[in-house]
Amino acid sequence: MSDPMLYPLTFTPVLRDYLWGGRRLETLFGRRLPPGIIAESWEISGHPSGSTVAEAGYWQGQPLPAIQEALGERLVGARGGWALARRKFPLLIKLLDARQDLSVQVHPDDAYALAHENGELGKTEMWYVLHADEGTELIRGLQPGVDRQMFLRAVAEGTLPALLRREPVRAGQVFDVPAGTVHALLAGAVVAEIQQNSDATYRIYDWGRVGADGRPRPLHIEKALEVIDFAGRGGQSVPCLLQDGAGLRRVEVVRNRYFVVETLHMDAGARFPAACDGATLEVWGCVAGRAAVEWEGGTVPLPAVRFALLPAALGAFAVTALEPCTCLRTYLPEA
């Protein structure tokens, strides 16, 4: 008999109304949204700025930090011991709708953030592109040869955009964004973001915009200069084919010290059996089509775009494609 405290958890998202957002989580994916701008939907979050609350089952109405406090290693797994020690959930899962260009920014690594941001962690992240208008680009990194002096001069002269490396965007692409990488989503992109549980962000350039108060939003140039990886030491993940057959193509697309992300492209009826054996939690998100997570206690539907958190002690489970679908599978790596 299954433990009523251990089941695939879904959460009520926390919504953010930053000025660059839009309404495409509603128009593209049928989300019911309140009136106004919706820039971000925090799907699974234990961050103090916005913790998601369980939708159903034993933990219904409880925020994720309280569930972690109660379940401990049974939720995050043995690989998440560092998260338990810090009383932080290890991941943060978001959807972002860029109706306008986001500010150009950079995130610190753990060492810098812990020293300068009141115990906040650093922020390594990745994007899976859900939708991109024709001609959409994003910014990831600097042009070759840009150093600290060139960067600082461009900031002073207002010519920073010329030093930024732009990449074209299309649905289904994956972008790895290690801490220290200068980056920005630009207008036209809708992405799923998987990241460290952190909100440490240093804004570098904001396209001449003003905030709701009519004033330019603050920049964080001094801190940014201390964390930008001018040498490109952060590196990028190399995709690795893990499985191809029986209606399922599985690829590891991102691996770093904080999380591993796989994409699974599944034909209708394809089934992927696995188990949460206590080593790590898993987060499953259906980003196209329809899937379902099955375990001893029942079935949780995963329409696009929806995420479920599988506790590390859940045991055997399977993901089944109810129609052709694409899923993201995220888990914590071995040390």
Catalytic amino acids? 203
Report the C-alpha gap between 42 and 50 in whole angstroms.
8
Residue 115 phi/psi, 5-degree rounding, is -80, -25
Phi, psi of 160 (to 5 degrees): -55, -40
Q: How far apart are CA 90 and CA 259, in angstroms?
A: 9
d(CA 87, CA 307): 22
**Cα distances (angstroms) measured from residue 281 to each of 205, 259, 320:** 37, 11, 19
Q: How many CB atoms lie within 10 A of CB 276?
A: 22
CA distance 200 to 197: 9
Distant-in-sequence, close-in-space partners of 301: CB < 8 Å, separation ≥ 6: 290, 291, 292, 322
For 35, other C-beta atoms within 10 Å of its C-beta total: 6
Cβ atoms of residues 248 and 265 within 8 Å: yes
